[in-house]
Chains A and B, each alone.
Chain A
Amino acid sequence: MAKIYDLQNVKRVYESRTVVDIDTLEIEDGEILAIVGPSGAGKSTLLRLLNFLEYADSGLIRYKGQEVNAQLPLDFRRQVTTVFQRPALLQGSVEENVVYGLRLRGKKNGKGEVLEVITRMGLEKLRRARARTLSGGEAQRVALARAVVVRPAVLLLDEPTANLDPYNISLIEEVVREINRVQKTTIVLVTHNVFQAKRMAHRIALMLSGKIVELSRTQDFFDHPRDPRTRAFANGEMIY
């Protein structure tokens, strides 16, 4: 598989604290990569770098061969989107939220796609409901629908199912796997949940203190971990 992201010696520093310090990381086009690790490991910051929401203080990030910086063309920026842990929905209906990304791109004939995605997410009965009145699980499904409808090349998921009930977790995981399989969308999933990573990912990276400790195929991550910290994390032990 071709690589879609290439990170070399990337550092991100907040007020003299290095939160991301990655020597090398390649993300393959069309894969599901899970990034696991404890809170404060730098996982969410890494996602923001991958979504071009902020930039590395040093090192190089390439997306599809293009150097990532403030001059990255809008066409490239719009190929990547994130679903955050806490969905921030716009005022208005579920449908208005889902169509929003298409409107930003000037697409006026996306009604069919919007309805299809809303139905796929089990939101058809809530189509006209005010988005701000939804439960946590429903709101997260709207956020995922809003991200998926623009058919991104890369979908970044930042703890998308944290604090959700089993039904919503199952539905969201199913949809994510489906768009990866059908649309070949590259998925980068940040999660605390090592079992979710095992269910979803082709490869898993363990992040600690801003560094990638180990990156391997999912089976190897659990069956043949190279680093003792990976073994400890896979076994559910706390690592800080």
Chain B
Amino acid sequence: MQQLLDGILEGLRLLFTGDAVLWEIIYLSGRISGIALVISAVLGIPFGAFLGLARFRGRRLVQAIVYTGMGLPPVVVGLAVYLLLSRSGILGHLNWSWIPQLFTVPAMIVAQVIIATPLVVGYTMAAVSEVNPDLRIQVRSLGATPLQITLAVLCEARLGIIVALVGGLGSIISEVGAVMMVGGNIEGSTRVLTTAIMLETRRGNLDLAIGLGMVLLLLAFLINFGVTQLQGKGN
């Protein structure tokens, strides 16, 4: 109990005294997950909207693949990206400049995009599917083009889409398996909150580990609080 209290106090001290190492880790975590989320949103929202609105042969199969992707274990994603990007991997051996190298920030972003995108697609699809189908016909009757109909539906489903983004962010900012495998937890370069917590725990620096854990929890709380506020406004 005392250790936990000490950890919390230490965490607060590090946070509010502007500890450079801690803030660097927070900044890097936010940057990696933020960029990964933006890419996932750009890929996932249009695709999720398409799956929610369009009817085509094989749609159920694609949906099943998306749902499977939503439950991808991060460590498996990490392994897959590792195998792809390693020197002897399918992409790594090509040695093209635009292909990210292992143990770099871009490799971590690739892994997080793979984890977050199916979540964004799946939640967006569900949100769009729940929009009253009569509304699409009504909007079309008012003279909307297919793009305008899609935008109207997305606008109606905006709260669900925000939840999709939060779900995606929550999954990547708190995962450890993939970033550890492809990032390597290199100090000052690829060390993020989750890998730092793991390292400090192993080192026996439980105070710092608890402090980092508190920061992670605080971030999760702030994000979710923001969402509930938005939902309150939406209702």
Question: Which A residues contact B (CB, under 8 angstroms)?
Answer: 51, 53, 74, 77-78, 80-82, 84, 86-88, 90-91, 100-101, 104-105, 143, 146-147, 150
Complex CA gap A81/B141 in Å reads: 5
User: Which 10 A/B pairs are nearest by Cβ-Cβ distance?
Assistant: A78-B143, A88-B134, A88-B135, A88-B138, A82-B141, A101-B142, A81-B141, A104-B144, A104-B143, A51-B141
Answer whether residue B155 sits at the interface, using C-beta atoms and an 8 A cutoff.
Answer: yes
Complex CA gap A88/B175 in Å reads: 41
- 27 pairs, A vs B, C-beta closer than 8 Å: A51-B141, A53-B141, A77-B143, A78-B143, A81-B141, A81-B142, A81-B143, A84-B138, A84-B141, A86-B134, A88-B134, A88-B135, A88-B138, A90-B139, A90-B152, A90-B155, A91-B155, A91-B156, A100-B139, A101-B142, A104-B143, A104-B144, A104-B145, A105-B143, A143-B138, A147-B142, A150-B143
Beta-carbon contact of B140 and A90 below 8 Å = no
* Residue among A53, A104, A150 facing the most chain B CB atoms (10 A cut-off): A104
Answer whether residue B231 sits at the interface, using C-beta atoms and an 8 A cutoff.
Answer: no
Answer whether residue B62 sits at the interface, using C-beta atoms and an 8 A cutoff.
Answer: no
Beta-carbon contact of A104 and B132 below 8 Å = no
Task: Quote the shortest CB–CB distance from A81 to chain B (angstroms).
Answer: 5
Complex CA gap A80/B132 in Å reads: 22
Task: Quote the shortest CB–CB distance from B109 to chain A (angstroms).
Answer: 34
Task: Quote the shortest CB–CB distance from B159 to chain A (angstroms).
Answer: 9
What does DSSP make chain B's interface, helix, strand, loop or mixed? helix
Complex CA gap A174/B132 in Å reads: 30
A77-B143, A84-B141, A100-B139 given; name 4 further pairs at CB < 8 Å: A78-B143, A90-B156, A100-B142, A104-B142
Task: Quote the shortest CB–CB distance from B4 to chain A (angstroms).
Answer: 45
Q: Which residues of B contact A77 (CB under 8 A)?
A: 143
Task: Quote the shortest CB–CB distance from A91 to chain B (angstroms).
Answer: 6
* Residue among B143, B152, B156 facing the most chain A CB atoms (10 A cut-off): B143
Q: Which residues of B contact A143 (CB under 8 A)?
A: 138
Residue of A nearest to B145 (CB): A74
Given contacts A53-B137, A86-B134, A90-B156, contact A150 B145 (CB under 8 A): no
Task: Quote the shortest CB–CB distance from A58 to chain B (angstroms).
Answer: 23
Beta-carbon contact of B141 and A150 below 8 Å = no
Task: Quote the shortest CB–CB distance from A172 to chain B (angstroms).
Answer: 17
Complex CA gap A12/B137 in Å reads: 18
Task: Quote the shortest CB–CB distance from B36 to chain A (angstroms).
Answer: 30
Q: Which residues of B contact A78 (CB under 8 A)?
A: 143
Number of B residues whose C-beta is below 8 Å from A?
17
Beta-carbon contact of A88 and B132 below 8 Å = yes
Answer whether residue B234 sits at the interface, using C-beta atoms and an 8 A cutoff.
Answer: yes
Complex CA gap A78/B148 in Å reads: 13
* Residue among B138, B139, B141, B144 facing the most chain A CB atoms (10 A cut-off): B141
Q: Which residues of A contact B135 (CB under 8 A)?
A: 88, 90
Chain B 113-134 per-residue mask, 1 if CB under 8 angstroms from chain A, else 0: 0000000000000000000101
Task: Quote the shortest CB–CB distance from A99 to chain B (angstroms).
Answer: 11
Complex CA gap A101/B156 in Å reads: 16
Complex CA gap A86/B133 in Å reads: 12
Contact with B142, one of A74, A91, A146 (Cβ below 8 angstroms): A146
Complex CA gap A90/B141 in Å reads: 14
Beta-carbon contact of A74 and B143 below 8 Å = yes
Which positions 132-169 of chain B face chain A at CB distance < 8 Å? 132, 134-135, 137-145, 148, 152, 155-156
* Residue among A78, A84, A88, A105 facing the most chain B CB atoms (10 A cut-off): A88
Complex CA gap A132/B224 in Å reads: 26
Contact with A150, one of B132, B134, B142, B234 (Cβ below 8 angstroms): B142
Which positions 66-124 of chain B face chain A at CB distance < 8 Å? none
Task: Quote the shortest CB–CB distance from B5 to chain A (angstroms).
Answer: 47
Residue of A nearest to B159 (CB): A91
Task: Quote the shortest CB–CB distance from A95 to chain B (angstroms).
Answer: 16
Residue of B nearest to A51 (CB): B141
Task: Quote the shortest CB–CB distance from A141 to chain B (angstroms).
Answer: 15
Complex CA gap A87/B134 in Å reads: 8
Q: Which residues of A contact B152 (CB under 8 A)?
A: 90
Beta-carbon contact of B148 and A104 below 8 Å = yes
Beta-carbon contact of A53 and B142 below 8 Å = no
Task: Quote the shortest CB–CB distance from A159 to chain B (angstroms).
Answer: 13
Q: Which residues of B contact A81 (CB under 8 A)?
A: 141-143
